[in-house]
Homo-oligomer: A and B are copies of this chain.
Amino acid sequence: MNPDPDYSAAYLRVETDAGDGLEGHGFVFTIGRGNDVQAAAIRALTPHLVGRDVEGILDDMGGFWRELVWDSQLRWLGPEKGVMHMAIGAVVNAMWDLKAKRAGLPLWQLLARMTPEEIVDLVDFRYLSDALTREDALRILRAAEPGRGEREARLLAGGYPAYTTTPGWLGYSDEKLVRLCREAVADGFGMIKLKVGGNVEDDVRRMRLAREAVGSGIRIAVDANQRWDVDEAIAWMGRLAEFDVAWIEEPTSPDDVLGHAAIARGIAPIPVATGEHSGGRVMFKQMLQAGSLSVLQIDAARVAGVNENIAILLLAAKFGVPVCPHAGGVGLCEAVQHLAMFDFVAVSGSAEGRVIEYVDHLHEHFVTPTSVSDGVYHAPTTPGNGMEMLASSRKEYTFHD
Taking beta carbons and an 8 Å cutoff, which residues of A are in contact with B?
Answer: 1-6, 30-34, 36-38, 40-41, 44, 71-74, 76-87, 126-130, 226, 229-231, 252-259, 262, 277, 279, 282-283, 285-286, 289-290
**In the bound complex, CA of A33 to CA of B40 (Å):** 12
Q: Please state if A130 and B259 are interface contacts (CB–CB under 8 Å).
A: yes
Kindly list chain B residues whose C-beta atoms are within 8 Å of the C-beta of A128. Answer: 229
Most B CB contacts (10 A, CB to CB) among A6, A77, A289, A290 go to: A77
Q: Please state if A77 and B127 are interface contacts (CB–CB under 8 Å).
A: no
Candidates B36, B81, B127; contact of A82 at CB < 8 Å: B81
In the complex, given contacts A79-B254, A126-B229, what are 5 additional A-B residue pairs having Cβ atoms less than 8 angstroms apart?
A37-B44, A77-B82, A81-B82, A256-B282, A257-B258
Q: Please state if B71 and A127 are interface contacts (CB–CB under 8 Å).
A: no
**In the bound complex, CA of A255 to CA of B82 (Å):** 13
CB distance from A146 to the nearest CB of B (A): 32
Kindly list chain B residues whose C-beta atoms are within 8 Å of the C-beta of A36. Answer: 40, 44
Report copies per complex: 2
Q: Please state if B253 and A129 are interface contacts (CB–CB under 8 Å).
A: no
Q: Please state if A4 and B82 are interface contacts (CB–CB under 8 Å).
A: no
**In the bound complex, CA of A79 to CA of B289 (Å):** 22
**In the bound complex, CA of A24 to CA of B73 (Å):** 27
Q: Please state if A74 and B33 are interface contacts (CB–CB under 8 Å).
A: yes
CB distance from A4 to the nearest CB of B (A): 7
CB distance from A93 to the nearest CB of B (A): 17
Given A41-B37, A252-B127: A72 touches B31 (CB 8 Å cut-off): yes
Q: Please state if B255 and A81 are interface contacts (CB–CB under 8 Å).
A: yes
Closest B-chain residue to A41, C-beta based?
Answer: B37
Kindly list chain B residues whose C-beta atoms are within 8 Å of the C-beta of A44. Answer: 33-34, 36-37
Q: Please state if B259 and A127 are interface contacts (CB–CB under 8 Å).
A: yes
**In the bound complex, CA of A254 to CA of B81 (Å):** 11
Kindly list chain B residues whose C-beta atoms are within 8 Å of the C-beta of A253. Answer: 79-80, 127, 282
Most B CB contacts (10 A, CB to CB) among A126, A258, A262 go to: A258
Q: Please state if B81 and A279 are interface contacts (CB–CB under 8 Å).
A: yes
Kindly list chain B residues whose C-beta atoms are within 8 Å of the C-beta of A258. Answer: 257, 286, 289-290
Q: Please state if B231 and A129 are interface contacts (CB–CB under 8 Å).
A: yes
9 A-B pairs with the lowest CB-CB distances in the bound complex, closest first: A82-B82, A83-B83, A40-B40, A32-B73, A33-B73, A130-B230, A127-B253, A129-B229, A37-B41
Candidates B37, B255, B279; contact of A40 at CB < 8 Å: B37
Kindly list chain B residues whose C-beta atoms are within 8 Å of the C-beta of A254. Answer: 79
Closest B-chain residue to A6, C-beta based?
Answer: B73
Kindly list chain B residues whose C-beta atoms are within 8 Å of the C-beta of A30. Answer: 73, 76-77
Q: Please state if A255 and B229 are interface contacts (CB–CB under 8 Å).
A: no
CB distance from A358 to the nearest CB of B (A): 21
**In the bound complex, CA of A229 to CA of B128 (Å):** 7
**In the bound complex, CA of A41 to CA of B36 (Å):** 8
Kindly list chain B residues whose C-beta atoms are within 8 Å of the C-beta of A32. Answer: 73
Q: Please state if B262 and A282 are interface contacts (CB–CB under 8 Å).
A: no
**In the bound complex, CA of A147 to CA of B34 (Å):** 45
CB distance from A306 to the nearest CB of B (A): 20
Candidates B77, B255, B285; contact of A279 at CB < 8 Å: B255
Kindly list chain B residues whose C-beta atoms are within 8 Å of the C-beta of A31. Answer: 72-73, 76
Kindly list chain B residues whose C-beta atoms are within 8 Å of the C-beta of A6. Answer: 73
Most B CB contacts (10 A, CB to CB) among A2, A4, A36, A279 go to: A279
Kindly list chain B residues whose C-beta atoms are within 8 Å of the C-beta of A72. Answer: 1-5, 31
